[in-house]
Structure 1
Amino acid sequence: MNTTARGSAWEVARAFLTLGVTSFGGPVAHLGFFRTEFVDRRRWLDDRAYADLVALCQFLPGPASSQVGFAIGLLRAGPLGALAAFLAFTLPSAVLMVAFAFGAALFEGPVGAGILEGLKIVAVAIVAQAVWGMARTLAPDPTRAAIAAGAAGIALLAASASGQLIAIALGAVVGLLLCRPRSASAPAALRVPVSRAAGIASLAAFVALLIALPLVAVATSAPAAALADAFYRAGALVFGGGHVVLPLLEAEVVATGWVTAPEFLAGYGAAQAMPGPLFTFAAFLGAASGNGAGGLLGAVIALVAIFLPGFLLLIAALPFWGALRASTNGQGLMNGANAAVVGILAAALYDPVFTTAITGAGSFTVALGCFVLLVAWKLPPWAVVLVGAAAGVVLELAGI
């Protein structure tokens, strides 16, 4: 499939806004939603290109699912498409998190608890569909199936971001040795609208901000600069995204006294109920911050600062990734890495997605039904989300 920047930013915004209000379940589920929407339904890119993006973003610091969405928007409609993808996917949950910071009570009582349980169950079906579809394309032979199985074992036994990186790295090495194609032809033309000069400039900006922000914060004692420094550093130094960033954020905002420990935990609990990226927890922390730069301004600063480093690194890597992907050695590396990504998704399907959501026969039955609706009935994910949420309320009220 020839993937080029041939769409409009408005088209990208509409697609990602729907995902921004329906993509529950965390980063692994988001990758499942993205694959269903952009590979299966819209066909903006093929399975191989999508898995390559996922593998690349897993290697980089920052929120992997948001980086994948940013890259899809960039490939489809250029820089404006990337910005549209980020804003449309992120703003719904960010607005809700800011509302929670200002005192909105969300998801209370048995109905709210049932909705949350239903959304967790839907995540099982979404991730299972992603694993099923990607395995058929990216691990179709014994060698790559073995890579996927090994990666799943590593990811489960070394349950951390470093474990995922090790699994992908080992998969890439095995792919280089055993999965190289016979010819040097590229598997698909994937034209990235970013020059190498722009990539180098983006890397320079990433490093400059990482060095300059703490110096500015100390020199000026400005609360806004301190807030930007804290959240930029958290976004720049965390691999794996999502839950992995929480210890860094706690050290930055609780240890400094900007946010109390109960406030931090309450915000984290609310973040679990939101669609979109977990990194929008930063909007809550910025709005609730007591360092003098809180409120709406603090939310905007924290949100931009935590996402920016991951996007700068992605822009820096994309122009060079295409050349790697076009060589036989590069294709062997990516074949192995892609198979490893399938294994990592399979491991995440088991823990935490399945182990958290499936608590008995009732929840398993709902998850199985949602999977059938997705795979056999071809219902759109947002419709399955509504079905799962309603079923969760029924289970909660019935005490099942």
Structure 2
Amino acid sequence: MALCSWQLLFFVLNLFSQKFFVSYSDKTFLKDVFLITISAFGGPQAHLVLFFEYLVNKRKYLNEEELTELIALCQMLPGPSSTQTLLAIAYKRGGFKLAMLTLLIWMFPAFTIMTVIALFITQLKNLPEMSKTLQIAQFVQPMAVGFVGYGAIKITQKLVNTKTGFALLIFSALATYFLRSPWAFPVVVVIGGMVTALKYEKQEKMEKKKFVISWRYFIVYGGVFIIVASLGLITKSMPNSEAISLPIRLFENFYRNGSLIFGGGQVLVPALYNEFVEFKKYLSSDEFLSGYALAQAVPGPVFAFSGYIGGLSMRNFGTWGILIGSFVASAGIYLPGAFILFFVLKFWEQLKLYRPVRASLEGINAVSAGMVIAAIFTISENITPNLTNIAIVVLTFSALMFTKLAPPIIILIGIACGIGFSLL
């Protein structure tokens, strides 16, 4: 399986290098993205740890200060924060083309697996049978806690070094853990930035340039939304047009959610449950929760769960319906965050010339670290507190902290142990 994945990756990269003139350095970057993708268990906080390990420490595509700055920027934007951080790195390296290729490779493994799960779910009468087949990944979730715990220490060391920063870190951790509202994340980020922006006089004055905003990507973002929403209304009123109307409406539904979600997958999931289970009833509660449980064992962005929901929403149209539904849902959930990010990156360098903006990064970084700490406890709530799981968390954290084992190797060891226990 791993060999086939690598062969497929190399084929895709070589194809793009021939058709779209991707340089050797860009192909190397995309291969590194793929390595991160297949290791990316545990949600956005664990993903950021991998970005530091691979992209900063190992490959030196950017330095720690640049990465923490991009993390802070993406925390303020709607959409999948770890995906946007990776896209921002790719965009700064190679522009729109490399960013889009990065997005495809980053989401491909999780998208494929969740689409296959959607296909299998339609064939199963007893949903728990699917969960039993994935017992090989029973250690992945406690391992994710170890990854996030390691990330919390490393990110705190890198981002927080003042008394104000530590105070904001504690405030952020408590606020985002107890106030589990979609708006808690951007509000906390804004508060953190405003607190340290007041210390702008300590920042060095820099010569300001004429402030120019390019509206191209924002126009594309808004234009796509208007066109798709209009097409959905038109086709919905046409007789016998459900096969055409439903994919368009699904794209609009996920595009809208991708435009409004702050805080990552932990906020996305309840929003999708309310819309597609409670309101539209495209999925049953059991199907939704079973799919989400299985998604925890899948590497890559949590937003890939959208592909599963989109696929089951179109199951009445057969296999092709599931494939189309999964594709339009995935495209809809990722594109708005990408367009908004590209729009902001165009004038971000100009914004940084202003001292209050540079000063605000201290607070934004501190509350970002606090969110990672809160995520440790949030993820732990879904794990049975037995000695086995606690031992897995401690061993994973220790392996990351005190050995040079690469994250993919640690994950493979966990999966191998899962296979052994499932056989026993």
Q: TM-score range by the shorter chain?
A: 0.7 to 0.9
Question: Is the aligned partner of 1:361 residue 2:360?
Answer: no
Contact 1:175–1:335 under 8 Å retained in 2:
yes
Aligned residue among 126, 133, 151 for 2:147: 126
Distance in 1, matches of 2:275 and 2:166, equals 42
Equivalent of residue 333 in structure 2, options 306, 324, 329: 306
How many residue pairs get matched?
Answer: 381
The alpha carbon displacement at 1:92 in A equals 0.5
Instruction: Report the more deviating stretch, 297-306 or 100-109.
Output: 100-109
Give the superposition deviation at 1:394. Answer: 6.5
- Which residue does 2:349 correspond to in 1? 322
Q: Deviations over 1:344-385 (max 9, x none)?
A: 111212x21334347233322322222222122121111111
Determine whether 1:242 maps to 2:269. Answer: no
Q: Shift of residue 257 of structure 1? A: 4.3
Partner of 1:192: none
- Asked if residue 22 in structure 1 is aligned to residue 39 in structure 2, the reply is yes
Q: Supply the AA of the counterpart residue of 1:361.
A: L
Aligned to 1:282: 306
Shift of 1:310: 0.8
CA deviation after TM superposition for structure 1 residue 10, in Å? 1.5
Distance 1:206 1:76 in 2: 22
What does residue 113 of structure 1 align with?
Answer: 135
Q: Percent identity?
A: 28
- Farther-moved stretch of structure 1 (295-304 vs 100-109): 100-109
Following superposition, the deviation at residue 250 of structure 1 comes to 3.4
Instruction: State the partner residue of 2:56.
Output: 39
Measured in 1, the distance between the counterparts of 2:260 and 2:83 equals 16
Cα offsets for 1:214-268 (capped at 9, x unmatched): 2111112333322221221121222223132234333443433444444333322
Instruction: Check 1:80–1:297 CA distance in 2 against 1; reply closer, same or farther (3 A cut).
Output: same
Deviation at 1:317, TM superposition (A): 0.9
Distance 1:220 1:51 in 2: 45
Structure 1 residue 332, shift from structure 2 partner:
0.6
Alignment partner, residue 266 of structure 1: 290
TM-score (norm: length of structure 1): 0.86
CA gap 1:305/1:136 in 2 versus in 1, 3 angstroms? same
**Alignment partner, residue 190 of structure 1:** none
Partner Cα separation in structure 1 for residue 201 and residue 33 of structure 2? 35
Asked if the contact 2:78–2:337 (Cα under 8 Å) also holds between the matched residues in 1, the reply is yes
Structure 1 position 143, deviation (Å): 2.4
> 3-state SS of the aligned residue for 1:73?
helix
Change (3 A) 1:182 1:20: closer
Partner of 1:167, secondary structure, is helix
- The SS at the match of 1:301 is helix
RMSD: 2.8
On the 8 A contact 1:71/1:82 being kept in 2, the answer is yes
Matches within 5 A, 1:217-228: 217-221=232-236, 222-228=245-251
Measure the CA separation in 1 of the matches of 2:44 and 2:86.
11
Alpha-carbon distance change, 181 to 130 in structure 1, aligned in 2, over 3 angstroms: farther
Deviates more, 1:159-168 or 1:86-95: 159-168
Q: Equivalent residue for 1:203?
A: 218
CA contact (8 A) 1:268 1:281 kept: yes
Question: Which sections of structure 2, spanning at least 5 residues, go unmatched?
Answer: 1-21, 237-244
Q: TM-score, normalised by structure 2?
A: 0.81
Structure 1 runs not aligned, ≥5 long: 187-194
Distance in structure 2 (CA, Å) of the matches to 1:215 and 1:371: 50
State how far apart, in whole Å, the 2-side matches of 1:335 and 1:21 are.
32
**How far 1:201 moved relative to its partner?**
1.1
CA separation of 1:361/1:267 partners in 2, compared to 1, >3 Å: closer, same or farther? closer
What is the DSSP-based 3-state SS (H/G/I as helix, E as strand, rest coil) of the residue aligned with 2:205? coil
Q: 1:395 to 1:357 in 2, by over 3 A?
A: farther
Counterpart of 1:218, as a letter, is L
Match of 1:169 among 190, 194, 211: 190
More off after superposition, 62-71 vs 285-294: 285-294
- 2:10 aligned with 1:9: no
SS at match of 1:22: coil
Return the alpha-carbon distance in structure 1 between the equivalents of residues 176 and 270 of structure 2: 20
Which deviations, in whole Å up to 9, do the C-alpha atoms of 1:51-94 show, x marking residues without a partner?
22222222211111111121122223322221222111111011
